[in-house]
């Protein structure tokens, strides 16, 4: 599944967009289908930097960017943990499904 998605992305046309983060523009070359995602992420980063700048008066932009990076990293770390939990639950459900299927075949229900 992932290889077909990666293959499709590799074959897709690449574009260069300008992303504004903390009042600076950064050119990024991406596949066209990812443009909306990159723009949404840059908006989230800018919103977080704005919140931090309002909360912590007197710090400079680099401090806000580091704080934003730390918060985003923590959110990602939490999501990775929940993804691992989901994978474990799916594996257990697949095992349970196999046990049930074997039982139903043995009992000639299936």
**Res. 99 pLDDT band, cuts 50 70 90:** confident
Say whether pLDDT at 102 is over 70: yes
Quick check: 17 and 30 in contact, CB under 8 A?
yes
Q: What is the pTM of this model?
A: 0.62
Separation in Å, CA 47 to CA 24, 53, 69: 14, 10, 13
pLDDT in tens, 20-68: 999 999 999 999 999 999 999 999 999 999 999 999 998 999 999 999 9
Phi-psi region of 23 (alpha: psi -120 to 50; beta: other; left: phi over 0): left
Separation in Å, CA 14 to CA 9, 19, 35, 37, 102: 9, 15, 10, 14, 49
């Amino acid at each position: 599944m992932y290889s077909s998605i990666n293959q499709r992305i590799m074959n897709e046309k690449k574009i260069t967009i300008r992303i504004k983060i903390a009042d600076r523009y950064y050119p990024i070359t991406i596949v066209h289908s990812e443009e909306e995602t990159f723009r949404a992420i840059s908006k989230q980063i800018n919103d977080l930097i704005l919140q931090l700048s309002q909360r912590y008066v007197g710090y400079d932009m680099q401090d806000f960017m580091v704080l934003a990076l730390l918060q985003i990293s923590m959110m990602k770390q939490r999501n990775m943990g929940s993804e691992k939990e989901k994978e474990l639950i799916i594996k257990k459900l697949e095992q349970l499904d196999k046990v049930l299927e074997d039982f139903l075949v043995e009992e000639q229900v299936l």
